[in-house]
Amino acid sequence: MNKRSALIYVVDDNVSICRSLALLLKAHGFKVETFTHARSFLAYKHPKLPSCLVLDISLPDINGLTLQEMMAKRGIIIPIIFITGHGDIPMSVKGIKAGAVDFLTKPFIKNKLLDAITLAISKSMSQNKEEAEVSKIKRRIKTLSPRELEVFRLVAKGMMSKNIAFKRGISLQTIKVHRGRVMKKMRARTVTELIRFAEKCGITSSKE
């Protein structure tokens, strides 16, 4: 993990906690951004970096668990480590179920925090990679003509060229040409790869 490019967000209404955690994490080579309100964190423009959010459960404006839900709805994909001054077990279960990496009860020693951060950053990196791949595929799909997109969908559904030709009343030769162009534009080496692309972007499940 390249720490220098990893960004840690700390959201806690206690200024001392923000300041001290920022110092500690910076001393360990991370970039750190601190917020005392959930809203200012949401309003922040999150750079595409491997990142992780150290989040206090009880914030004055938006509860930490609610913030977790809001982030999911807005497509802000950043792994979360919850911190709390109350050792509330049921709350932690809820948070972990909703995808939090860890749940630390204050005060925690730095090793616990650093371990959780390492885990969160690696999760973030694979999430970012996945996200980048999906947007790359989506960009390629945009270059397809309507007819090519249709052929792409049908191929992704597992139809043979023959069947497509028959179903659409077009010659097999034309379908083969379209299909060749789809493969080229999508930069798929094999049909299997093409189908994988379709699955990643949810093309298979779209309309007939």
Partner 1 sequence: MKMKKKKPVLRNKIRNKERVRLEGVIKQQSDKLKIKNGQLRNGAAKQIKSEWQIETATTLIKKKDLEILKQRAELLHVTRVGKLAEFVSSLAHEISQPLTAILSYAQAASRMLEGREPEIKEILQHIIDDDRRASEVIQRMRLLLKKGKPEMELLDINAIVNETVMLVATDAAVRNDALKTELKGDLPFIDGDRVQLQQVLLNLISNSFDALGRSRGKREILIRTLRKDIDTIIVEVKDSGCGIPKRNMPKLFTRFFTSKPDGLGMGLSISRSIIEAHGGRLKGRNNPDRGTTFYFTIPVGTKDA
Of 117, 193, 99, nearest to 152 by C-alpha is: 193
Among 19, 138, 162, 187, binds partner 1 (CB under 8 A): 19
Of 151, 53, 149, nearest to 104 by C-alpha is: 53
**Binding flag, residue 28, partner 1 (CB under 8 A):** yes
What contacts 81, CB < 8 A, 6 or more positions away?
52, 53, 54, 55, 100, 101, 102, 103, 104, 113, 116, 117, 120
Nearest approach, Cβ of residue 21 and partner 1 (Å) = 5
Which residue, 24 or 159, has its beta carbon nearer to partner 1?
Answer: 24
Residue tagged 């790869």 (tokens): 193
Q: How far, rounded to the nearest angstrom, does the alpha carbon of residue 186 sit from its chain's CA centroid?
A: 22
**Binding flag, residue 190, partner 1 (CB under 8 A):** no
Which residue, 43 or 109, has its beta carbon nearer to partner 1?
Answer: 109
Q: Using CB under 8 A, which of the segments 82-90, 140-148, 154-162, 182-190 binds partner 1?
A: 82-90
Contact footprint for partner 1 (CB under 8 A): 14, 16-17, 19-21, 23-24, 26-28, 83, 85-87, 105-110
